[in-house]
Structures are given as C-alpha cells and as structure tokens.
C-alpha cells in the first residue's frame, strides 16, 4: 500500500468518525438558513428548546414531526432578525416554561438553581461536624491485661 493510499484511508476514517458530530436531526439540508451565522444562532436556540414529543431531546436533536416544525419556526424568526430572547419568549408563551431545557431563573426555580451550592455547603458542614467530634473524642481507654495478651498472641508471628 502506498503512502498516498494510506493517507486517503486515514482521511476517510477520520471523516467517518466526524460524521456523527456533523449530523444533527436536520433531515433535510433545505431546512437550514443560507446565512451560516443565522443558522448557527438558530441551532443554538433550538438546542435549548425541548421537543415536546420526545421530551428529553432538544428540537435540534429530535426527528419528530413537531420538532421539525418548531425548527422551521425558529429559523423563520431568526431570519426576520429577532434576537434569541424574542424567539424564546415566543415559544414559552405557547408551550410554557416546560419547553426550556434550561429552566429560567425565577422565584419558583430558586431552590433548583441554588441546590448545588446548598448541597456543597451541607457536605462541608457535615464533614466539619464529623471531624470536630472525632478530634474532641477522648482517647480510647488503655488495653486490659486480657486484650494485651491477645494482641501479643496475634502479632507473635
């Protein structure tokens, strides 16, 4: 095998490995906006929108019919020049906060967002109490004669 053929095989292999990254659920390239910047923005918005049919996928990842329709709507709005917030608000006004994959920060979601910090503080608190109690515990009582004899027996060899 010549070096050139090896190189070609290598390139083909790398391309094959890269395809799963390149392929989103966009079934049809005609869905995509001609302007790459706008398309990237539409994909970023779509990645934050829940597909309401296959609820743990974003509309960019899902190939459900509704996801395709919502992708088209997002692109229409982006092409009209709306900003990300406006598109998001349009979706939330129709489908509620459930459509956001990343919940908005509000009074209702305060506990949700604060939970990592709270959990960390609780962990630090527990560890602190645990170590303080251990440091404050009195030293164990000296071994009795029986225990000493048993220890000597066990450590003889």
Q: Which C-beta is closer to another protein: that of 41 or that of 68?
A: 68
Identify whether the C-beta of residue 71 lies closer than 8 Å to the C-beta of residue 59: yes
Identify whether the C-beta of residue 39 lies closer than 8 Å to the C-beta of residue 32: yes
Instruction: Find the binder of another protein among 30, 93, 144, 155 (CB under 8 A).
Output: 93
Least spacing, CB of residue 93 vs another protein, in Å: 7
Q: Tell me: does residue 94 bind another protein (CB under 8 A).
A: yes
Q: Tell me: does residue 53 bind another protein (CB under 8 A).
A: yes
Instruction: Find the binder of another protein among 20, 65, 139, 142 (CB under 8 A).
Output: 65
What is the C-alpha separation between 137 and 94, in angstroms, rounded? 61
What residues contact 31, with CB distance under 8 A and at least 6 apart? 68, 71, 72, 75
Which residues in this chain contact another protein in the complex, by CB under 8 A?
52-53, 55, 65-66, 69-70, 73, 92-96, 98
């Amino acid at each position: 095998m010549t070096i050139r053929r090896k190189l070609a095989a290598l390139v083909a292999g790398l391309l094959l490995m890269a395809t799963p990254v390149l392929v989103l659920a966009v079934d049809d390239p005609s869905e995509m906006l001609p302007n790459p910047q706008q398309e990237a923005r539409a994909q970023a918005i779509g990645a934050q929108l829940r597909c309401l049919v296959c609820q743990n996928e974003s509309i960019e990842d899902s190939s459900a019919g509704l996801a395709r329709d919502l992708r088209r709507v997002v692109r229409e709005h982006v092409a009209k020049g709306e900003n990300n917030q406006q598109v998001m608000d349009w979706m939330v006004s129709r489908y509620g906060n459930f459509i956001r994959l990343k919940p908005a920060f509000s009074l209702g979601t305060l506990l949700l967002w604060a939970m990592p910090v709270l959990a960390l503080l609780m962990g630090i608190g527990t560890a602190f109490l645990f170590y303080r109690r251990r440091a404050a515990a009195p030293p164990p009582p000296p071994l009795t004669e029986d225990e000493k004899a048993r220890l000597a027996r066990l450590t003889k060899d």
